[in-house]
Structures are given as structure tokens and as C-alpha cells.
Amino acid sequence: MGNDWTEENLISIRERVYLYIKDLILDGEFKTGDRLVERELAERLNISRTPIREALFRLESQGFVKTVPRKGVIVADISEKEIIEVFTILSSLEVLAVKLAVQKLDDETKRKFTSCIKKVEKCLQNKNEVDFSDLHSELNYLLYSSAKNTKLYEILSGLSDYIRAFAKKGYQKAGRAEQSMEEHLKIMEAIVNKESDMSEYLTKIHIENSKKAYVEAVKKSEEKKR
């Protein structure tokens, strides 16, 4: 990042710092228990410590980091129970999102879905060349924004960020990444065809399969440690 960081626009800097650190956590560069030192992060980004401090406060309020006596700020350890709870909430809210997306489908949004459907189909044909986790985020953005409900979008985006790293763990199950894309494909096709009941049903199945894949990955990881 380095020289790209200036403080001409402090509000923009605050948001960029927050997103940057959060992405490092979600992408696994900062792992559970790692210390996040204000001075080191400020030097890394070539900015003052103030926006770093504010970003860490914000991340702590969302459960991504926590402050530990004599250690400082560390990446939080999120329990399996908490993650499964988030999957449950995500299921209900994504079902609502697809319902609204069908109800509010207009020509412009339909074109976006059609374009995305083609992109997913192409990606499934070139499996070895695709980062499915990035594509998954893109598909979620399209779905959430298509509901045309600002508050719902904010809540779902926050939950999706929270669970992103753990969805990647679920991708460790052989074939799960491709299966997830195929599930997204069917959901988008149902939305484009204005099949509300089908899109809601497929969304429930998708979240349940994602949760199961995550739980299986955790169990395998624990077995290896024994």
C-alpha cells in the first residue's frame, strides 16, 4: 500500500484502513491470536496511528479483534457455535433478500443477473483458473443490492464479511467450491425467471450446505491435531 496512503481525505482514509485490516484478517494473513500493533500497521501503510486506532476500535466492536491485558489488540478466536449461529441468521436474511430481489426485479437488474450467470458458467468451465471466494463475494453483492433495501444490505454485508473466512474453510471439502457456484447459478436463474418460492428454497439449501461443509472441515482439522 505504502505511498498510496495520504491524509488529504481523513474520512476516506479511515474507511480504507478499516477495510484493509479486515481483509487481511478474513484472508488469513492475520490469524487468530496474532497481535495487531498500531505502530507497525501505521509504518506499513505510511500513515499516522489515529486511523489505525479507529479501525481497530471498529473491528473490536464487530468481534474481529479483542483487547487482551498485557498483550494489546489480537485477532479474535470466533467459536464454532458463533459461526453456526451466523449461518442460521444468514439463511433467514438471504431468503428475504431473494424474495425482495424477485419482487423488485427490473430490466437493469435482470441484465446484471444474466451477465453474472454467464460469468459463473464460464468460471465453472475453467475451474482451475478461478478464485471462487472472490466470485462468491461478487455474487453476494449482486444479490444483496438487488433486494433494494439499504438496511438489509448493510446487515447482510456485515454478516457475509464475518463469515467469509469460514466459508473458505468449507471450500476445503473436495468439490464444495464448484458446488457452491452451481447453487448460486440456480438461485440467480430462479430470480431471473421470477420464481420466488424456488429461489427461496434454493437459498436455504445453499446456506445449509455451506454450514455442513464448514462443520466437516472443522472436524477434519481437529482430527489431524490429535
- Please give the Cα distance from 200 to 98 (Å, whole number): 6
The per-residue b/e assignment along 114-143, b for 16 or more CB within 10 angstroms, e otherwise, is: eebbeebeebeeeeeebebbebbbebbebb
- Please give the Cα distance from 97 to 147 (Å, whole number): 5
Amino acid 128: pLDDT: 63
Least Cα distance to 72 among 41, 28, 97 occurs for: 41
The predicted model scores a pTM of 0.77
pLDDT tens, residue by residue, 134-183: 788 889 999 999 999 999 999 998 888 777 766 666 666 778 888 999 99
Amino acid 15: pLDDT: 85
Least Cα distance to 140 among 76, 205, 207, 80 occurs for: 207
pLDDT tens, residue by residue, 86-127: 889 999 999 999 999 999 999 999 999 999 999 999 988 887
pLDDT tens, residue by residue, 27-80: 778 888 999 999 999 999 999 999 999 999 999 988 889 999 989 999 988 777
> Exposed/middle/buried for 11, CB within 10 Å: 0-12, 13-18, 19+?
exposed
Amino acid 130: pLDDT: 64
Q: Is the pLDDT of residue 24 over 60?
A: yes
Which residue carries 455451506 as its cell? 210
Q: Is the dihedral of CA 127, 167, 156, 56 positive or negative?
A: negative
Q: What are phi and psi of 77, to 5 degrees?
A: -95, 110
Q: Is the pLDDT of residue 2 over 60?
A: no
Amino acid 82: pLDDT: 81
Q: Is the pLDDT of residue 224 over 80?
A: no
